[in-house]
Amino acid sequence: MLKLVLALIVVLIVVAILLVPVFISSKKGNSLIKGKINSSIDGRIEFAGLWMGWFKGIKIANLSFNDNAGQISVQVKEIATKPHYGSLLTGNLSLGQTLIDKPNVEINLKDLKAQKSGSPDPKPSAGKAIQPIVLPVKRIELVLNDGNVKVTDPKAGTVELLRINSKLNLQPPGQQTDFDLNMAVARAGNAAEIKVAGRVTTKQQTGWSLKGTSGDLTVEVNDLDLESLAPIFALAGVEVQAKGLVTSDVKSQIKDGRLEDLTAEIKASNLDVTAAQLKGDKLQTANLDVSVKLSQAKETISIDDLRIKTDWASVTASGVVPTTFESTGDFLGADSNYNLKADFHCDIATVSAQMPKTLGLKEGMQITSGRLNGKVETSSTAGKRLIRANATLAGLEGTVDQKKAALSEPIVARAEISSDKAGINIDRLDVSAPFAKINCTGRTESLKYNAEANLAKLQSELGQFINIGQYQMSGEVLESGLISIEEDKIAASGSATVRNLRFSSKEGTSASEPMAEIDFVVDMDRKSSVVTVDSITANASFGQVSIEDGVVPLNNKSAKPLRATIFASNVDLEKLLPFGVLFASLPKEMQLAGIAESTLSVGSNKDVYKIATDSTRIKGLKLVYPGQEKPFEQNEVTLAFEAEVDPNQKAINVKKLQLDSPQIKIRKGEFSQLSKDGTTKLAGQAECEYDWSAVSALAAPYLPEGLTLQGKRTDAINFTSEYPTAQADKLLPNLNAEGKVGFEQAGYMGLDFGPTDVEIQVQSGVLKVSPFTTTVNEGRFSFAGQADFKEKPPLFRIAKPMQMIKDIKVNDEITNKLLKYVNPLFADAVNVSGYANFNCEQLAIPLKAESRNDAVVIGTISMNRLRMQGSNLVGQIFTTSRGDPRGTDMTIHPTRFVLQKGFLRYDNMQMDVGDNPVNFKGVIGLDKSLDMTVTLPYTSRGRTARVGRETSGRRITLPLKGTVDKPELDMGKLLEEQLKGQLEEQLRKGLEDLFK
């Protein structure tokens, strides 16, 4: 019975296996497969039919695919394959004979690039070994018949790859794989033929990797229009624009992973290539001719012929060279079989016209002539090996701003190197230029060198053509030293002297250093790609700076990370100040003194640099700004901080910031800035203890002129902002912050503030100042407001109408800086006293000085018990009326005024001088202009007007002329006004008599 059951199970399994092709080939099976595929892809696949047979293989008819975005479309007439099903059990898929008939692919790049930019390809992890490629298919005999690929880019146009016919006989490692490909690249009716054929055999142990691979490869291209490849470049994300026709024929032999023989002929016409990295520069030539014939042995490359020729350059070379130049001795050894003969020529004028930005030429510079020529040749004689090389840049001339520029002498480099059994000797290595000279002699293990440069000549000669900097410079640099070259290491030691160094700007600012001496000892390990700094010491008149125990990696494959300790001692800030004025735009009249000491450590972890100090101090610090009466002085200031900088992420992270001085202390200071995906995130916080008298002295250039602050404070502040990296001006509109500010006393424009505490908060770029009231000049000052940094320009506004000023005592400073812009009567006034009140309806003050005309102030001002002396305008008014206002109380009646667009206006400001009314009307400009009239306290009849009494006759009104600083009554209008008043009076009387 058991045998019968087992037999039945076996029969059922066999029947099930036999029925699998039947089910897959059925409509239900086809529908199930399509449903499974479509549910797992971003698009939809269709086919007319799918058939499977254990002996006939798999066949798919009229296959199509369209993605959901409408960007990729695929049509295939037929796919047929005869897989070896048994290979599935071993994991080594073998497809056997496979046909892809008439595949048609269309790609529309619209919006595709935007999708790519939002999903950057992940970078391979550092240090991970590259693994051999493992193909999912071990064997296939593939035939691709009459394929077509069409790529359309909105900017670059359309290109088609037509008549794609290919055969691939893929075999497992250890067996020969053959392939060939024929196709045409077509655009705008023109087609170029491309043929590729090859045979490769890989070693079974290494699999599909270049190591151990042997075979041959042939590539033939006929009249390929590079411009037609623009959509292909766009698809690949390569920012290159190229034009020109290219024809090439390349044949190569590969043996055990080495390019054993290579013969290539490449010709191009009307070549024009540019890329994003060139920043608008182009590489152009009407003709390009490249001919290469070389062969490679195990350790040598034999160059039978190498010729490269363009419109503006040519290179020829022949000889035998080592496969790598890791060891100079391999090439220079006395018993070496290597030899090389090469020369090159380059037309600098043509190259510079195409690539001015790459070469760093000045704006507007046109090089009209100049050639760079060079030659290298090796020979052997009497047991010695000789190498001679030279290069010359001659006849360099050009024009800039229609002025002729030229090098006074050529730049020449010459080298003569010999080797014998004792080693390699540098017989001569000279570089000479109108502005510098370098010469070297000696054996490679002990090479002496001397160098000198004249900075003024460097700028006057080379600076004619390229940007050396915005500053004029002069001085001499002398350097000498010893270089030792071993197989994997280069050691250098020496000293340099800089004499009479001077930098100056066009504005006349300059900084100089009479003598600086630099000593150094460094080693470079080429094997580990690391420079070790034993010591670098610079002694100058302003102090000493040294670097010790330093390691500098040369590339990202270096064995050791960056590490260095920087010491600064006895740095005289007074002597260093001129450099700060010149390069850091410090105020020219600023005074700075003090002696600084610092130890700074610099290190790195992958791409992140770490900078830290816990022993930076300044003794006897003294800082005085222009026009500042009280200097900022501290006996000792100490600074400690720890920061990380990631240039790739444009990130700064200050983990620790601590500053100690007698009057300013910063605790728990932190700051971070990170830029990623086009967005910058900023955050920071600090706890501060400070004395306002010290802070205001230190920050004087950034505070309103004349502002004085006093009092000791302990405050905390924190802030964040997130804004587009390319728009730094969006930092404030996206700022969030909160904190407290306050003081014991403050003085500004004659306003003496008492103890004040103000809470400040910024939310999404909106600054809010909470309501507060304080004493000012024995009166009261109230305020609350906000500023929206999203506004252009940003304006500080009051929250609501309020009585801002109540019973504040006025004085001469308030009068001179504020009140004279309210009424010209205050010009030249002295010994001013009285009380002022101001009710504000609307206030909008620009936060930028250049936007002052956007200020809006609307409110009502009044003053009482006002007294003054020396006002010229008061004297004019009351001299005319034969009065004397000295010792008389004055009153300004409540007057509503409007300040807008740089002009203050009111219709009637009445000032009672004693009991005599004077009325003002008109416009006062912030530019100190006047357009006003004054109604005098007397009539055309010569009678004086009194407050509270009826006045008989018309009061005289005169215009004001002059400026805010020097207003004058237009007395020339006085007689006219009197006559006009008398005529009006006579006319009135006549009419009264007529109608009696």
> From its phi and psi, is residue 627 left (phi > 0), alpha (psi between -120 and 50) or beta?
left
Question: For a pLDDT cut of 90, what percent of the chain falls above it?
Answer: 36
What are the Cα distances from residue 659, in Å, to 504, 572, 596, 683, 688? Answer: 34, 20, 14, 19, 9
What local confidence, expressed as pLDDT, does residue 922 receive?
94
Average pLDDT in the chain: 84
Q: Which helix (H) or strand (E) holds 875?
A: helix 872-880
Per residue in 401-420, pLDDT (tens digit) is 888 989 999 999 999 988 87
More confident residue, 162 or 705: 162
Q: What is the mean pLDDT of residues 73-94?
A: 75
Q: Within a domain: residue 186?
A: no
What local confidence, expressed as pLDDT, does residue 544 receive?
95
Q: CB neighbours of 8 closer than 8 A, spacing ≥ 6?
A: none
Task: Tell me the sheet residues that pair with 308.
Answer: 290, 315
Same domain, 742 and 842: no
Per residue in 854-875, pLDDT (tens digit) is 889 999 999 999 998 878 888 7
Same domain, 925 and 969: yes
pLDDT bin (cut points 50, 70, 90) of residue 900 is very high
Q: Within a domain: residue 483?
A: no
Same domain, 825 and 698: no
Counting other chains too, the contacts that 652-658 makes at CB distance below 8 Å and 24 or more residues apart are 654/684, 657/686
pLDDT bin (cut points 50, 70, 90) of residue 546 is very high
**What is the rounded radius of gyration, in angstroms, for the C-alpha atoms of the chain?**
44
CA distance 850 to 794: 12
In this structure, are residues 611 and 585 in contact, taking their beta carbons and an 8 Å threshold? no
**Phi, psi dihedral angles at 70 (to 5 degrees):** 70, 30
Q: What is the mean pLDDT of residues 801-811?
A: 94
**Phi, psi dihedral angles at 824 (to 5 degrees):** -65, -10
What local confidence, expressed as pLDDT, does residue 749 receive?
86
From the list 787, 810, 809, the residue with the least C-alpha distance to 798 is: 787
Lookup result for tokens 């407290």: 740
Task: Tell me the sheet residues that pair with 262.
Answer: 252, 294
pLDDT over 60 (residue 474): yes
Lookup result for tokens 């000889």: 319
pLDDT over 70 (residue 138): no
Q: Within a domain: residue 170?
A: no
Strand 137-153 to strand 93-108: parallel, antiparallel, or no bridges (unpaired)?
Answer: parallel
Lookup result for tokens 């409408």: 70
> Is residue 989 helix, strand or coil?
helix
Cis peptide before 793 (omega within 30 of 0): yes
Q: CB neighbours of 71 closer than 8 A, spacing ≥ 6?
A: 107, 108, 109, 110, 111, 112
Give me the number of domains the chain comprises.
Answer: 2
In this structure, are residues 851 and 787 in contact, taking their beta carbons and an 8 Å threshold? no
Structure tokens at 986: 């006579």
Same domain, 821 and 964: yes
CA distance 815 to 109: 70
CA distance 640 to 828: 53
What local confidence, expressed as pLDDT, does residue 694 receive?
85
Same domain, 844 and 963: yes
Per-position b or e across 262-273, b if 16+ CB within 10 A of its CB? bbbebebeebbb
Q: Which of 748, 778, 796 is the last residue of a domain?
A: 748
Q: Taking the CA atoms of 920, 922, 926 and 929 in sequence, report the sign of the dihedral they define.
A: negative
On the 0-12 / 13-18 / 19+ scale of CB atoms within 10 A, 336 is: middle
Question: For a pLDDT cut of 70, what percent of the chain falls above it?
Answer: 88
Q: Within a domain: residue 955?
A: yes
Q: Within a domain: residue 211?
A: no
Q: What is the mean pLDDT of residues 945-957?
A: 79
Q: Within a domain: residue 635?
A: yes
**CA–centroid distance for 814 within its chain:** 46
Same domain, 888 and 931: yes
Structure tokens at 60: 């798919």
DSSP letter (8 states) at residue 749: T
Same domain, 743 and 794: no
Same domain, 776 and 701: no
Same domain, 873 and 777: yes
Same domain, 657 and 783: no
On the 0-12 / 13-18 / 19+ scale of CB atoms within 10 A, 202 is: buried
pLDDT over 90 (residue 247): yes
Same domain, 651 and 734: yes
> Is residue 343 helix, strand or coil?
strand
Structure tokens at 967: 């207003």
Q: Taking the CA atoms of 107, 108, 109 and 112 in sequence, report the sign of the dihedral they define.
A: negative
What local confidence, expressed as pLDDT, does residue 82 receive?
83
Structure tokens at 510: 């300059």
Lookup result for tokens 């043509």: 350
Q: CB neighbours of 498 closer than 8 A, spacing ≥ 6?
A: 475, 476, 477, 513, 515, 516, 517, 518
Enclosing domain of residue 700: 587-593+616-748
Per residue in 318-361, pLDDT (tens digit) is 988 877 655 455 666 666 777 889 999 999 999 999 998 888 88
Q: Which of 713, 748, 783 is the last residue of a domain?
A: 748
From the list 449, 446, 408, 454, the residue with the least C-alpha distance to 431 is: 449
Structure tokens at 529: 């790609």
pLDDT over 60 (residue 741): yes
What local confidence, expressed as pLDDT, does residue 151 receive?
85
Same domain, 740 and 794: no
- Name residue 425's amino acid: N
> From its phi and psi, is residue 827 left (phi > 0), alpha (psi between -120 and 50) or beta?
beta
Q: Within a domain: residue 971?
A: yes
CA distance 345 to 343: 7
CA distance 834 to 806: 12
In this structure, are residues 416 and 388 in contact, taking their beta carbons and an 8 Å threshold? yes
Q: What is the mean pLDDT of residues 482-492?
A: 89
More confident residue, 462 or 973: 462
- Orientation of helix 2-25 relative to helix 27-38, angle to 10°: 70
On the 0-12 / 13-18 / 19+ scale of CB atoms within 10 A, 230 is: buried
Q: Which of 500-514, 836-850, 932-946 has the lowest mean pLDDT?
A: 932-946
Q: Within a domain: residue 203?
A: no
From the list 969, 964, 960, the residue with the least C-alpha distance to 928 is: 964
Helices (H) and strands (E) counted in the chain, each on its own, are 14, 53
